[in-house]
Structure 1
Amino acid sequence: MATYDDVHRLVSALPEVEVGQRFGHRAWSVAGQGFTWERPFTKADVKRFGPDPVPAGPVLAIACADLGEKESVLAQGRVGFFDIPHFAGYAAYLVALDSVDVADLEEALQDAWAAKAPSRLLPEADR
């Protein structure tokens, strides 16, 4: 189980991370590129779940490099990682913080940061 404070702690350890706002909620970016943000469900989101249970607790959106990476991440079947129709065709997925493993969250945040960070910030092997 994780919290938004855990997210802030984990991303603050990465180079040149800035905290800002996105649609009135906390968001984190690197070099002006958003890579993760608080993403509570809208009424429309909840309605789209229909009879399926809506994940409880705080939800985080995490950007990825492209749709292939998104598919790969979601195919791993990690607990707490999911998608919603609103994110179809968008290179980002959601994480239910109440059910995610903190180590999985940390890895996802590092990958999102690397997907958005300028090459000068990346380790030599990742350039």
Structure 2
Amino acid sequence: MTRSRKARESDIDEIALALPRTTKVPGWGGLPSYQVSKKFFVGYRSPRPDALDAETGERLTDVLVFRVPDEGDKRALVQGDGPWFTTDHFNGYNAVLLRLAHLGQLTRDELAEVIEDAWRSQAPKTVVRRWEDERLS
């Protein structure tokens, strides 16, 4: 079995826009944000005091936010051995964070799984069912 290649920034756009009813809208700083039926599911976030570079102490400018289905999924990603993290600002909010600088630690397939789960968590149930049925046929 061939392993998926390392994820690239362009994969975010490609994966997200392949999902039904997804639109790309300008988010923080004009960087892309993705919505399904006007609900956010992945995108960049503004630099905040709760996410600092460990070496310089400066606010991180390359942080992406991914919605997750629930707290269990969030915990699994953050506590796993991948590059996912969270901050106090996201306590009680079903989302995980990823630095763009660490995107290559994921395979494209891993990135696709998280983006698709983010989309599923926000898309209308009928749209999700139809999309899943089409993938099975």
CA RMSD of aligned residues (A): 3.2
Q: C-alpha displacement at 1:84, in angstroms? A: 1.9
Q: C-alpha displacement at 1:119, in angstroms? A: 1.3
Aligned to 1:62: 66
Asked whether the 8 Å contact 1:58–1:98 carries over to 2, the reply is no
Assess, with a 3 A threshold, how the Cα gap between structure 1 residues 122 and 46 changes in structure 2: closer, same or farther: closer
CA distance in 2 between counterparts of 1:101 and 1:16 reads 25
Aligned to 1:101: 107
Query: Percent identical across equivalent pairs?
Result: 26
* Larger Cα-atom Rg: 2
Question: Residues 4-56 of structure 1, C-alpha deviation per residue, up to 9 Å, x if partnerless?
Answer: 321001111111110012333310000011100113543x1344x667x99x8
- Please, which runs of 5 or more residues in structure 2 have no aligned partner? 1-5, 133-137
Assess, with a 3 A threshold, how the Cα gap between structure 1 residues 12 and 89 changes in structure 2: closer, same or farther: same
Structure with the larger strand share? 1
1:123 maps to 2:132: no
The residue correspondences of 1:1-127 to structure 2 (distance < 5 A) are 1-24=6-29, 25-39=31-45, 41-42=47-48, 44-47=49-52, 58-75=62-79, 77-96=80-99, 97-123=103-129
Scaled by the length of structure 2, what TM-score is found? Answer: 0.72
SS of the equivalent of 2:50 reads helix
Aligned residue pair count = 124
- Please, which runs of 5 or more residues in structure 1 have no aligned partner? none
Q: C-alpha displacement at 1:86, in angstroms? A: 2.0
Q: Which amino acid aligns with 1:90?
A: Y
Scaled by the length of structure 1, what TM-score is found? Answer: 0.77
